[in-house]
Structure 1
Amino acid sequence: MSTNTVLISGASIAGPALAYWLRRYGFTPTVVERAPALREGGHPIDVRGAAVEVVDRMGLLDRISAAHIETRGLSTVDGSGRTRAEAAMADFTGEGSENDIELMRGHLSAVLYQATEGDVEYVFGDSIASMREDGDGVHVTFEHATPRTFDLVVGADGLHSTTRALAFGEESRYCRYIGTYFASFSVPNHLGLNRWVALHNTPGRGAAIYGTPPHTARSEPPHPGDVHDPGPSPKAKALFTFSTRHQLPLGHRDTRAQYRVVERAFENTGWEVPTLLAEMRDAPDFYFDSLSQVHMDRWSRGRVALVGDAGYCPSPMAGQGSSMALVGAYVLASELAAANGEHRAAFEGYESRMRDFVTQNQSIAGSGAGLLVPKSWPGIWFRDQAMRIAPKLPSVDLFGGRMRRAANAVDLENYVPA
């Protein structure tokens, strides 16, 4: 095997998934993660389409399914809290969605980590500082650890990837802002929502409360056979989205500035928004970022490759980032195994097999934005009307058809599980 040691930067979803498959195929992966420990919490994400097949091949389908949130539906409300429209989640996700798995990002990350921690080296609280490639491999220096040399380096470190910046150039060359910012954090479940989302819109603004079940508040993901409390959780997720014409001059780690931006965007907004804003600064899991996509002509250069959001972030509006990370990790590792570690051939195969899948999934982000944050009062009215008639007219497709096609737009059949 011409490649053996692989450094993976990032321990969220793509990184541990890639480490799992590389180890299973006989490689020696090391995962470095900037955070001091595995990141808990986060907002709900989805595993669907080809990604369900990937986690099944990993032997993790039952474990991941045990953490299923099973959101029942969504209501839109006016400034006084009166319901404008509501629809079951199946009306959004379409036929075939019964196989989808919705779970907390932190739970998926924990399951993947637990499946790999016994035979994969993890280095927390550190990150790549520099890389230099020559015929012997990639010589890596770290912020804290001593330098090491690896056969390959893979960036699985998200939208603001340090690996991508070091190997391909600055972020602005590849990240495309799609006109919206997103914030999420935990709040008390004032409304007693049970597996339900309540959403209030004004033009270009959306504030939602996402009532998830009690098991989502635990750091340890559930196990198969666990009995879940059917009642509402004492905690919910607050989600804010707002549109801007241009990207704001904000550092992605400047939390205080992010608080101020959210507060200004939603000042004088009705419904539960004043209460949510008052609770925002005390939330332990506040998350804020632009909704951006990563577009690159190639996801590899020399001995360095990218996987997941680092190479092809679709933005949360597509609802496919985690699934793309799982599929991408599987395809990249499988191509390396098929090529017996010859990285040039493997990277070519990875590019070829993933390109259309990525393109289709990135293209659906606009549909998600139109549903969650319409930019005008007529747009809000039209969205609500579509929600009202969707249950009565099966031919009305709010979002699910395009998403379903994109989620399955990759061929996994040529790979034999290790």
Structure 2
Amino acid sequence: MTQRRALISGASIAGPALAFWLNRYGWETTVVERAAEVRTGGQNIDVRGAARETLRRAGLEDVVRAATTGELGTRFVRADGSTAAEFPAGESDTEGATAEVEILRGDLAQILIDASMSKTEYVFGDAIAGVEETTDGVRVSFEKGQDREYDLVIVAEGKNSTTRSLLFRGAERAEVRDLGMEMAYLTIPRTDGDVDWWRWYSAPGGRGVTLRPDRHGTTRAVLSRMTHGRASGFDRRDAAGQKSALREQFGDAGWEATRVLDALDGADVYFESLGQVHAPTWSTGRVALTGDAAWCASPVSGMGTSLSLVGAYVLAGELSAHVDHRDAFRGYERILRPYVEQAQDPPPGTPRLANPSTRAGIAALHGLLRAASTKAVAPLRSRMFRPPAEKIELPDYGHLEARV
């Protein structure tokens, strides 16, 4: 059989994972990434449920476990730093506010790139400018490079994917639903007072400050706030404007907020408005979506990375199990959509209830968390911190490797 060729746009988690599995099944793959180099930054992410099983089948679980952050669990803290409630890290594939496998986004991306590099061409600093279907493939034009031809194109970009907007139009266009919350992520120097726990502080006004350990000698910080339907009003590309707004919004928040704000000038700050992607279809012609570009469930779902890893595994398997890409794309959606829909259906009130606006609401939240942290209400704790990461029966595509 003629070796099939796929172009994948996006080199974060879903893209390199898809390249890895397609390589295993005999595909030739190219990954194009708009960024000039591998983006090694990013916050803590977790790998749960069925995604852990895909790592086992890939032979990468031990490599990923060796790169985890060492986070011991989650502590909800008061303004004076005292602990209101704490939850040790989970001891299974799925449970826990802190999962058993916590890793930095950049570290996981690098592992997946390294695992696929020998059989995948990575092109950084470029992006898809257009796609034209031919009789038996697609001709792709790039913003900088020369045109190339592939059998298929897979968009594995983020929530606000520009390539998705370029290629999926009209009735195929995805809807991005705002969740009423903004978050700013940055890395700050670690101090002697930092511990190997995820510390979560809630301030009045639906604001939050969290600090998490990493394995690189620094601390990962997040500033979050509920917007209540009011946008921040500044250009997301205006870094100075973002930082000025954060100082205004969090100047009186308390706890470690001042420390985080003091680190803004020397930090690379990533800002996002939380939202979910709801796409009526994940494919059009010879182009398909995967990862956040297809179904972003948002960070509050606890499922973003797991969905990317499982989605890459299923899409590669279906493409390799079918001769006709249309049959493969139908199988991909049939298997994966129920899993995605569960992830996009968080408990009622999420994220508002976990980010109270008043001091009384914060006190009530802490009381609920203290109760949930006791052995007597373990079932409640399980419901609070157990996303539906295992709620899918993974197909076994192992037989496809024999064809290579």
1:375-394 map, 5 Å: 375-394=357-376
2:277 maps to amino acid: V
Which residue in 2 is equivalent to 1:122? 122
Q: Provide, for residues 141-184 of structure 1, a one-character-per-residue CA deviation record: whole Å limited to 9, x for no partner.
A: 11110111211110001112122111113999511110101111
Which residue in 2 is equivalent to 1:198? 199
Separation (CA, whole Å) in 2 of partners of 1:373 and 1:92: 26
Which residue in 1 is equivalent to 2:316? 333
| Structure 1 range deviating more: 85-94 or 286-295 | 85-94
Separation (CA, whole Å) in 2 of partners of 1:24 and 1:191: 45
Separation (CA, whole Å) in 1 of partners of 2:275 and 2:285: 26
Which residue in 1 is equivalent to 2:147? 147
Helix, strand or coil for the counterpart of 1:62?
helix
Shift of 1:400: 4.0
**How many percent of aligned residue pairs carry the same amino acid?**
40
Separation (CA, whole Å) in 1 of partners of 2:387 and 2:44: 21
Q: 1:290 aligns with which of 267, 273, 282?
A: 273
Relative to structure 1, the CA distance from residue 307 to residue 187 in structure 2 (aligned partners, 3 Å threshold; closer, same or farther) is same
2:291 is the alignment partner of 1:308: yes
Relative to structure 1, the CA distance from residue 169 to residue 398 in structure 2 (aligned partners, 3 Å threshold; closer, same or farther) is farther
Separation (CA, whole Å) in 2 of partners of 1:286 and 1:365: 29
Separation (CA, whole Å) in 1 of partners of 2:36 and 2:336: 32
Shift of 1:100: 3.4
Shift of 1:376: 3.5
Shift of 1:394: 4.2
Relative to structure 1, the CA distance from residue 252 to residue 415 in structure 2 (aligned partners, 3 Å threshold; closer, same or farther) is farther
Do the aligned residues in 2 keep the contact of 1:158 with 1:308 (CA within 8 Å)?
yes
Helix, strand or coil for the counterpart of 1:369?
coil
Do the aligned residues in 2 keep the contact of 1:73 with 1:86 (CA within 8 Å)?
no
| Structure 2: stretches of 5+ with no match in the other structure | none
Helix, strand or coil for the counterpart of 2:116?
coil
| Structure 1 range deviating more: 130-139 or 327-336 | 130-139
Shift of 1:134: 3.2
Relative to structure 1, the CA distance from residue 394 to residue 69 in structure 2 (aligned partners, 3 Å threshold; closer, same or farther) is farther
Which residue in 1 is equivalent to 2:263? 279
Do the aligned residues in 2 keep the contact of 1:5 with 1:150 (CA within 8 Å)?
yes
Query: RMSD value over aligned CA atoms?
Result: 2.6
2:60 maps to amino acid: L
1:20-39 map, 5 Å: 20-39=20-39
2:177 maps to amino acid: R
Do the aligned residues in 2 keep the contact of 1:3 with 1:152 (CA within 8 Å)?
no
Separation (CA, whole Å) in 1 of partners of 2:179 and 2:186: 22
| Structure 1 range deviating more: 97-106 or 55-64 | 97-106
| Structure 1 range deviating more: 1-10 or 32-41 | 1-10
Relative to structure 1, the CA distance from residue 310 to residue 142 in structure 2 (aligned partners, 3 Å threshold; closer, same or farther) is same
Do the aligned residues in 2 keep the contact of 1:300 with 1:347 (CA within 8 Å)?
yes
Shift of 1:390: 2.2
Relative to structure 1, the CA distance from residue 7 to residue 306 in structure 2 (aligned partners, 3 Å threshold; closer, same or farther) is same
Relative to structure 1, the CA distance from residue 409 to residue 402 in structure 2 (aligned partners, 3 Å threshold; closer, same or farther) is farther
Do the aligned residues in 2 keep the contact of 1:94 with 1:401 (CA within 8 Å)?
no
1:8 maps to amino acid: I
Separation (CA, whole Å) in 1 of partners of 2:348 and 2:238: 27
Separation (CA, whole Å) in 2 of partners of 1:89 and 1:293: 29
Shift of 1:405: 5.5
Shift of 1:2: 8.1
Do the aligned residues in 2 keep the contact of 1:155 with 1:307 (CA within 8 Å)?
yes
Separation (CA, whole Å) in 2 of partners of 1:396 and 1:108: 31
2:306 is the alignment partner of 1:323: yes
2:253 is the alignment partner of 1:269: yes
| Structure 1: stretches of 5+ with no match in the other structure | 218-232
Do the aligned residues in 1 keep the contact of 2:298 with 2:304 (CA within 8 Å)?
yes
Aligned residue pairs, count: 396
